[in-house]
Amino acid sequence: MRKPAMTPDASPHRGTAAPYRVALGLALAATAGVMLWGAGTQNVSFASELGRLIGYETPVTLEDRVAALTGELAQVKAETRRLRQNQGDTSEELSHLRAGLANAEIGLDALRTTTDENETRRRDAAAQIEQNLAQLKDQTLHLRMAQDDTATELGSLRAGVANSEIGIGSLRTTTGEIRKQIGRIEAGQEATGSIAGSRKHHRKWVAQR
């Protein structure tokens, strides 16, 4: 079966129809994209979807990419700066906390030292008091023993004094009796002397006669 012959006009018309259709589609897509861009982000996404459906994608230029990266870099720098500031505040707070902890530890060490010193002083004072109390008890015991010895000596002295008084009384009695005996002897001697004298005188008178 023979194919129908193509006329000279048919081939050029059929060959140029496809480019026209593509150009018309692009124009319609661009027009629709511009109209939908003014309506909002949802319309833009719809226009992008429409462009994708018709086989059209908008190319991203190097300037757009650089601008986007520059914006992201600025955001990262701002966030980093904020984090550093927060870290600086945190470091300052940590420094204050560390200084406070160091001062607290120093205070605790001083308190422990003072407590130990006070405990040592209290122990020394208690030991000194116990020693003084022991000495006082010893002195009291010696004093009691000395008092007992003194009482014994006083008793002995009192007994000696009583015996001396008894001896003195006896001596006085004996002295009185001796004196009486001496008086009697003297009286007897006087009587004897007077008798002898009278006898001698009588003998002398007889001889003279």
Domain residue extents for the chain? 22-57
Ordered DSSP codes for 24-41: HHHHHHHHHHHHHHHH-H
pLDDT by 10s per residue, the chain, length 209:
444 444 444 444 444 444 445 455 555 555 555 444 444 444 444 445 545 554 444 566 878 888 888 888 888 888 888 887 877 777 777 787 788 888 888 888 888 888 888 888 888 888 888 898 888 888 888 888 888 888 888 888 888 888 888 888 888 888 888 888 888 888 877 777 666 656 555 565 555 65
The DSSP annotation for 197-208 comes to: HHHHHHHHHHHH
pLDDT confidence of residue 92: 78
Alpha-helix runs per DSSP H in the chain: 10-39, 41-53, 62-208
Q: Is the pTM of this model over 0.85?
A: no
State the greatest distance between any 2 C-alpha atoms of the chain, in Å, as a whole number: 261
Please report the pLDDT score of residue 206 as a whole number: 55
Rounded CA-CA distance 76/55 in Å is 36
Q: Closest Cα partner for 54 from 25, 30, 17, 18?
A: 25
